[in-house]
Amino acid sequence: MATSYPELNYGNGAKWIKNLTQSRLSNFLGGHFADVNLSSKMFVHRLDGPGVVDLQVWSAPGLTKPLFAEAMRQKFRPAKKEESFGPSCTNHWWKVKMTIPSSWKEYERVQLEFDPGCEAMIFSTDGVPLQGITGGYGGDRRVEHIIPRGAILRGTYEVVIESSCNGMFGVPWNGDTIAPPDMNRYFKLASADLVVPNQEAWRLMWDFSALRELVDSLPGNSALQNKALVTANAIMNAFTTGDDENIKQMRAIAEDVFGKGWEAKGPGIYDEGARKAQVIGISYCHIDTAWLWPYAVTQQKTARSWSTQIDLMGRYPEHRFACSQAQQFKWLEQQYPPLFEKLKHKVASGQFHLIGGAWIENDGNLPSGEALVRQFLYGQRYFQSRFGKRCETAWLPDSFGLTAAYPQLIRDSGMKYFFTQKLSWNNINVFPHTTFNWVGIDGTQVLCHMTPVDTYTAQANVGEVNKAISNHKNLESNDTALLVFGNGDGGGGALPKMLENLRRIRAVTNNHRELPPVSMGSTVEQFFEDIERDSKGGRSLPVWRGELYLEFHRGTYTSHGSIKKGNRKCEILLRDVERVATLATTYQPASSDYVYPKKSIDECWEKVLLNQFHDVLPGSAIGMVYDDAERLYSEVRHDCQKMLDQAFEVLLTTPSTACGDSVLGGRPSGFLALNLTPFSRQEVVEVPLSGDGDLPSFPTVIQRSLDGKRGYALIEYEKDSICNRETSMHDECLPASVESVSSNHFILQTPVIKMTVCEGRITSIYDLVLGLELIEEGQTGGLVIFEDRPNYWDAWDVEIHHLETRTPLAFSSFRVVAQGPLRATIEAHVKYGRSDIKVMISMDGTPATRQYDLRPLIRFDAEVDWHEKHKFLKFELPLSINNTVATYECQFGFVQRPTYKNTTLDAAKFEVCGHKYADFSEFGYGVAILSESKYGFACEGNVLRISLLRAATAPDADQDQGLHEFSWAVMPHAGSFLESDVPRAAYLFNSPLHVRAIPQGVAAVESFVREFPFSLHGARNIFLETVKRGEDDDFESPAAKKTVILRLYEAFGGHGHTELRISRNVHVVAAYTTNLLEDTKAELTLSCDIRGGGASKLDLEFRGFEVKTVKLVLADAEGTLATNSNFDPVPAVIGRSGSRESWVVVSDDASE
């Protein structure tokens, strides 16, 4: 057999030094050899200056953000390259006129290169956004604009450009991303050039970059890795002149890895090779709705990013772009209507995908249950109204942990799939799953995928595609992964190089098996549908039950306390507005022209939902964001109070006004207090006394404060009662008193509870009925302060080592304010550093709720002038209670978390989120801490804590500095948590009475409605959370059908049966259960309630923590108060005779 193998060999052989060859690859692009390597061949021509690129500019005044039409009306001046523009966050408009040499017609592409060093957007001359610009030289650089072929042939082209003086990540003052902004930064126009790119050189660059990624990213000493290195090395050896022929030769060498003729196949490359791809590429552009920039900048970022992605779709047919956050769509619709129309066409064509189903990508811990419902309700309805479709996949990739209430809410909003990835940031334990069934507190599941690439801003490189499988934790159940790629956080989205790279990666996998195949062109839903099918409906997937707790960013439960307070107060205000407005439209007289204020309610909700964005509500944004957020909360409070006033005008026959500072000057005859909760309650209320000591006509003042400025009355409400019944001290009352043993030793007590404050600390809380001391022997409770210096993420993180720096604070001065019998109060002060802390500690002669054997609350009302840095203020109680778990309220229920540190999973939960209560109980007894605006809690062993204030300095240098007013309460209770009334007490603690001032000369006040027409009976564990009008009602037509929506939930984690009784004065013709979007699920059977004199009722069954939405269809507009012959109004008379009156503190702002 003939052979070509020679007999003799005098050569050295082909042995190589692999690491040196691999290191050599860095010299082919850029760097020290940029003037002689491929980088020197990237452009054929470059021209600039007058006559080629003529520039004019207009700078908008201050921080204003004029839109296109307004900008075009201004006077522009000549401008040139190298000019600087600023300061930070200002906006500058450019008119750019280009003259293109006729000789350039022969080239494949001509571009405008415009680099202002900051973000910008290019418009057509008639105002259509064309694409975004990202200046500078980072990995997100995008400064090229392709000039249309027609303009090249014509020889002229004009565009308008808006440049904004901020980078993709704001303007941090020292270059550190999370540093506070430098508001005096200027940006230079580095280029405004006409260029002819060498397209083949750019393609060779993408070839070489993909080869180098294969070399650097593939593990071990694989054949493909070595082949890629050999090929890349051969390309470098072949580089000579860099002319067209030489570049063609080098590109041919690259085909040894990518395959012959691969590029000509274009997007068809994804149709070859493996029938099933393991990695599904989805382009995404995460735009933080506010973070290191305010909302106004996000509006620009949205238009820049989305116009760019739409532009890319024309060049890359396989490009599919997924986008969430209805709020950003609405901004685009309002401010950039031509772009919005283009977007609608791309949605219809299937290239622009709607995901998330929510108003914004909200925080996953802090919003109330009803707020999470509204995120989906407003989001899904917006998408349906604008695009004719709803989202099928919930999407929260960047939220700082996720409540266990979510699966039920996601499913009931028309979605069953969920994508997230933030738990990859855990700083203690690695989350054990990639694709799994996430089961919530009620047992509902969603199909969840956490991309094993561990990012939602992937760069679409070989390492990430490989990681999608190598880091996949559930390959035994499912072997597919989502590659979510595109620049994000500050927007931008996919770059051409990413889409080019993915084509090359797929070409490689069509010929080699050492890299998982990647596909493009699918939707997120198709990805999940494949998993659902392959896993037999999820049955072969693992299950994770409970919350998705992020072991990171735990400080966000407390940072920016004023924002947390604004959120809680506005959520509750809106709940009350909807209830009262629903009653007003249900009972309004025929003579009334009152209309349910749906538009105003929607506007308020949208503002609250916007502020729940996952970098706003958590407190992790710059100060400018909180200026905006505080303004929005102020607008919501103002508008809600106005809506309450309008509704009360319908429900009350006598004029009244909301109480505020003006009450004292107006000398009202009395006060009317309205209870908008469904619960019975007994309240000690404070009313202001005039300077001459005159008492109001009602309520009856039983006790005065020691300074004579405040009077105290006792008010009671029966279950579902709106108007109060004034009462005097009686057997059910628990007279409160305060004993001053010495200047720093006080005892507050009632017949059932006694609390001792000695030397500035709480030394005893003693249950007099059971003879039980609640404070651990030898320990004290009270305020404590910790050093708070996280490892990096200042506003976000509190680290476990902060617990090693505990310093107890002792009150240094006291004053008795009220001595009982209705209220006993001491005022306590402590000065720490540069801060002053004043706390009013009170005990009332009433129980926390009307449950028979309940104890009173021990209430703490704090006023803190806070001027610390990197300190953490908390309140703690070391309790003589032993249990392995503590209970914390979450949305529509509660979660229990460990109090020990047996494992790192346990230890990681050293700071956790709770809503209105945290409870630590054992058999027979427990203690809860109730919160009206705080969300951070902990239970370490037997020490129960609530977090009050932090003091980070980045990204907001002045976070939490200044005056704070907030309250919390300690609630001792007999029995374990499940035997207690803690959820109801917390509900009431967060639901102040609405106090109305009654003008002089009015002896009695009449109300058309004595009690709520919707009443629950038979199960104390079922709560009525929401009463509102139906979303699809016609609010402008008096004769239109009315529907009422009721949202109920089971609060204790067990089954429940309740009767929903509907007043005989509310004529219901049909009732249905619906989903959260108010789509009908099933019709309910209405039956007559023989106890209600013609009232109707519904029987409702609940599983543990179930949320149920009920829609009632009312008869018609004729069934109103004035015309309904069956309605026998007996007005509630509020005054001295059978009076129903008053409230809680009538002080600075009674709308709270």
The residues facing 92 across adjacent strands are 59, 163
Residues 1100 and 1107: their CA atoms lie apart, in Å, by 11
Q: Is the dihedral of CA 508, 514, 515, 516 positive or negative?
A: positive
Q: Maximum CA pair distance of the chain? A: 125
Residues 131 and 336: their CA atoms lie apart, in Å, by 13
Give the distance, in angstroms, between the CA of residue 171 and the centroid of all CA atoms in the same chain: 23
Query: What are the φ and ψ backbone dihedral angles of 1129, each rounded to 5 degrees?
Result: -70, 125
Residues 986 and 982: their CA atoms lie apart, in Å, by 6
The answer to whether the bond into 699 is cis (omega within 30° of 0) is yes
476 neighbors 485 (Cβ within 8 angstroms) = no
Exposed, middle or buried by CB within 10 Å (0-12, 13-18, 19+), for 1124?
A: middle
| Contacts for 780 with CB less than 8 Å, ≥ 6 apart | 761, 762, 763, 808, 878
356 neighbors 325 (Cβ within 8 angstroms) = yes
DSSP alpha helix (H) spans, 218-323: 223-238, 244-258, 295-315
Give CA separation, 414 vs 386, 409, 1016, 1082, in Å: 17, 9, 28, 15
The answer to whether the bond into 955 is cis (omega within 30° of 0) is yes
Q: Which two tokens stand for residue 19?
A: 């690491």
Return the HEC string of 440-489. Answer: CCCCCEEEEEECCCCCCCECCCHHHHHHHHHCCCCCCCCCCEEEEECECE
Residues 808 and 442: their CA atoms lie apart, in Å, by 40
Q: Which two tokens stand for residue 999?
A: 């003008």
Taking the C-alpha atoms of 651, 654, 658 and 659 in order, what is their torsion angle to the nearest 10 degrees? -140
For residues 779-803, one letter each, b for 16 or more C-beta atoms within 10 angstroms of the residue's C-beta and e for the rest, the string is bbbbbbbbebbbeebbbbbbbeebb
Residue 922: CB atoms within 10 Å? 15
Residues 1005 and 656: their CA atoms lie apart, in Å, by 9
Query: What are the φ and ψ backbone dihedral angles of 1010, each rounded to 5 degrees?
Result: -85, -35
Angle at 1000 between CA 994 and CA 1006, to 5 degrees: 55
Residues 220 and 232: their CA atoms lie apart, in Å, by 18
Residues 599 and 1036: their CA atoms lie apart, in Å, by 11
Residue type, 1058: T
Residue 357: CB atoms within 10 Å? 27
DSSP string, 1101-1122: EE-TT-EEEEEEEE--TTSSTT
Q: Which two tokens stand for residue 1046?
A: 């009721």
Angle at 293 between CA 76 and CA 792, to 5 degrees: 145
Q: Which two tokens stand for residue 195?
A: 């260029």
653 neighbors 1141 (Cβ within 8 angstroms) = no
Give CA separation, 689 vs 761, 820, 1003, in Å: 33, 17, 18
Question: Active-site residue numbers?
Answer: 398
Residues 1074 and 1094: their CA atoms lie apart, in Å, by 26
